Amino acid sequence: MPRYAEDHERYDDSNRAFLQAFMARSTMTFSEAKPVLAAIFSVRDEEQVSPEDITEDDLQTYIAAANSAISPFDLEIRSILPQIEINNNDPNAPPPPAPERVYALVNTTSDALTQLATTYSADEIAFVKRILDAMFDTYNTRRQEAMVISSMQALQLAKAGAGDANRRESGTQQQQATQGGAAQSLTMTQAETMLKQLLEQGWFEKSRKGYYRLSPRGLMELRGWLVAAYNDEGIRKIKFCAACRDIITAGQRCGDRDCTGRLHDHCMRNFFRMQKSESCPVCKSAWPGDRFVGERAITMSDPAAQRARRSAANAQQAEAGPSTQFTLPEMDVEDEVDGGEEEAGSD
């Protein structure tokens, strides 16, 4: 029962204040919205309203009003549940805390990279694009759907041409890239600064283990673009959770690598309860529970496989000699060949 809903036939100063507060930050959760709305209501009602009095319905009412006001400007407040990774396979462990929904103001027409172009240079955008290619293509393979990159890998992409960018540019990006000729490399310092800014502005997140990944905001803004850039007929690099239908970049996968069954950690419990069996939502085979997508595809992969990879990498290094630049020992790039089929049609 929204206490204040009845007042909201029209868009007033309180709605404007809410939208302003929203625009002043890149994202907002219900907990963060409580003091904001309490302050707004206190002014409007000329009496002290406590943050504890704010309900989820109040927030929804204000978001709905804001959305009608901003839709003519191709803006929309959208939300996503952060993908909480549960690094614990103990079946008796207490259920993890429910993740708190994150709201963000998203441009509904232009892709997020186009928006970044108002702040960053073409070369900087090309660097971001190389990072996205690394996350969603190079390190998102059939064998290992990591969708994260280490700081070292990110910095190696400062060099234009590294990881190679230009094959699947969106239309706008292509224009920008060709307008000023090929993208130039960034210096290490420029790349470091850029990464820092992307973290501060809430596009990327850095995990405790030092991997960069797209933040909830980044995912909301880039969802459409990612699908357009990395999915094609028969190729589905960007996958969706079978329970909540939202994009999945951290969660669990079916035991069959060719099956598209994916579930967020926070969606799994309820989903299996409703389905009444712990089986893959797509192919119905038993759900393994220890096959991951996201960072854990690297950090929690089968130890035997990891050992084998490491010794193979060491052997290669030994053969090549110490001076040779080794690349990305942690990552499994052996089935990079399956990226080949996507390169068709580079107009």
Cβ 234 to Zn ion shortest distance, Å: 17
Nearer to Zn ion, 75 or 280 (CB): 280
CB < 8 Å & 24+ apart, contacts of 44-53: 44/12, 44/13, 44/14, 53/3
Cβ 223 to Zn ion shortest distance, Å: 14
Residues within window 87-146 making contact with Zn ion, judged by CB under 5 A: none
Binding span for Zn ion by CB under 5 A among 138-146, 192-200, 238-246, 328-336: 238-246
For residue 186 the two structure tokens come to 């960034």
Cβ 34 to Zn ion shortest distance, Å: 25
Please give the size of the binding site for Zn ion, defined by CB under 5 A: 11
Identity of the residue numbered 48: Q
Nearer to Zn ion, 27 or 252 (CB): 252
Residue 259 in contact with Zn ion, rule: CB under 5 A: yes
Among 282, 286, 305, 312, binds Zn ion (CB under 5 A): 282
Residue 267 in contact with Zn ion, rule: CB under 5 A: yes
C-alpha 51/C-alpha 37 separation (Å) is 7
Cβ 175 to Zn ion shortest distance, Å: 35
Cβ 82 to Zn ion shortest distance, Å: 11
Residue 280 in contact with Zn ion, rule: CB under 5 A: yes
The strand order across the sheet containing 75-80 reads 27-29, 102-107, 75-80
Q: Which of 227, 232, 217, 115 is nearest to 176 (CA)?
A: 115
E strand or H helix that includes residue 177: helix 171-179
- Beta strands per DSSP E along the chain: 27-29, 75-80, 102-107, 149-150, 204-206, 211-214, 231-232, 235-236, 239-240, 247-248, 251-253, 262-263, 292-293
Phi, psi of 263 (to 5 degrees): -140, 140
Binding span for Zn ion by CB under 5 A among 25-33, 229-237, 280-288, 335-343: 280-288
What is the Cα Rg of the chain in Å? 22
Binding span for Zn ion by CB under 5 A among 36-44, 46-54, 205-213, 265-273: 265-273
Residue 264 in contact with Zn ion, rule: CB under 5 A: yes
- Beta strands per DSSP E along 233-298: 235-236, 239-240, 247-248, 251-253, 262-263, 292-293
Among 43, 64, 182, 283, binds Zn ion (CB under 5 A): 283
Nearer to Zn ion, 208 or 245 (CB): 245
Pattern of binders to Zn ion over 239-258, x per CB under 5 A? --x-xx---------x----
Q: Which residues bind Zn ion (CB under 5 A)?
A: 241, 243-244, 254, 259, 261, 264, 267, 280, 282-283
